[in-house]
A = this chain, B = another copy of it.
Amino acid sequence: MDEEIMPELSIDCVIFGFDGSLKVLLVKHKEGISQGRWGLPGGWITYNESLDQAASRLLFLLTGLDNIFLDQLKAFGAVNRFPERRVVTVAYYSMIRTTATELVAGYTASDVKWFAIHETPALMYDHQEIVSFAKKQLHIKVRQEPIGFNLLPEKFTLFQLQQLYESTLQVKLDKPNFRRKILKTGLLEDCREMQANVSHRSPKLYRFDKSRYDQLKTTRFLLDF
């Protein structure tokens, strides 16, 4: 089929990661006018794929990850956002475990790296604006859906989950109250397993109960921190 690209539309991905603190994935471009500058991973859309398909393809190209939660953020369409010509970009965002993938540079990027969410370098084009918007969206989404679970390993402790919420929302939470609230939702399934070799009492491991989540989605549901 036709694999030519649409000249006036692009995709950019804001990919969040977590390894104790919140990260965002950036690439250093190795060609074109923005050579050497950091920006969001992204690319062009071909005529034979939908926006969502293009976003998934590009995410796979960059991280090797497939079948990942990927949500549209917003279309950014300021007149001069792209210096060479008029291009509107559709931004997507996603969350993955930083350990889940070997990052692959190459492609059009000379470097790929995780940055702490509050210590990003200057970004090209309007990518700073896109990242800021994504952060705001993450604050909202993390309350409405148990989205954070994509950022943790399959089995995790309640404290890890609490740290994820704390670093995403930039708040300090009360441990006893957090565990009660999160357990009450029923979204966590006890693995009946302990984490060993830690220099304190061994914590239980939990996993995310997807069937319970699907059931809750039909009604309304808010995690209010």
Count of chain copies: 2
Contact of A75 (CB < 8 Å), options: B7, B51, B86, B222: B51
Q: How large is the interface on A (under 10, 10 to 19, 20 to 34, 35 or more residues)?
A: 20 to 34
Contact B51 A88 (CB under 8 A): yes
The contact string, 1 if C-beta is below 8 Å from chain B, for chain A 53-85, is: 010000000000000000010111111000000
Are A52 and B79 interface neighbours, CB within 8 A? no
Task: Decide: A79 near B9, CB < 8 A? Known: A72-B74, A74-B72.
Answer: no
Fill in one digit per residue for A36-64: 1 if any B CB lies within 8 Å of its CB, else 0.
00000000010111111010000000000
Chain B residues near A224 (CB-CB < 8 A): 222
Is the CB of A131 closer than 8 A to any CB of chain B? no
Which chain B residue has the least Cβ–Cβ distance from A2? B86
Contact mask for chain A residues 1-25; partner B; CB cutoff 8 A; 1 contact, 0 none: 0000011110000000000000000
Q: Do B72 and A50 touch (CB < 8 A)?
A: no
Q: Is A151 an interface residue (CB 8 A)?
A: no
Contact assessment for A86 and B8 in the assembled complex, using a CB-CB cutoff below 8 Å: no
The interface residues of chain B lying within 8 Å CB-to-CB of A222 are: 222, 224
CA A47 – CA B54 in complex, angstroms? 24
Residues of chain A in range 168-225 having any CB-CB distance to chain B below 8 Å = 222, 224
On whether A52 and B72 interact (CB within 8 A), knowing A8-B6, A9-B9, A9-B88, the answer reads no
Residues of B within 8 A of A144 (CB): 140
Question: Contacts of A47 on B, CB cut-off 8 Å?
Answer: 79, 86
A residues sitting closer than 8 Å to B (CB atoms) are: 6-9, 45, 47-52, 54, 72, 74-79, 86, 88, 90, 140, 144, 222, 224
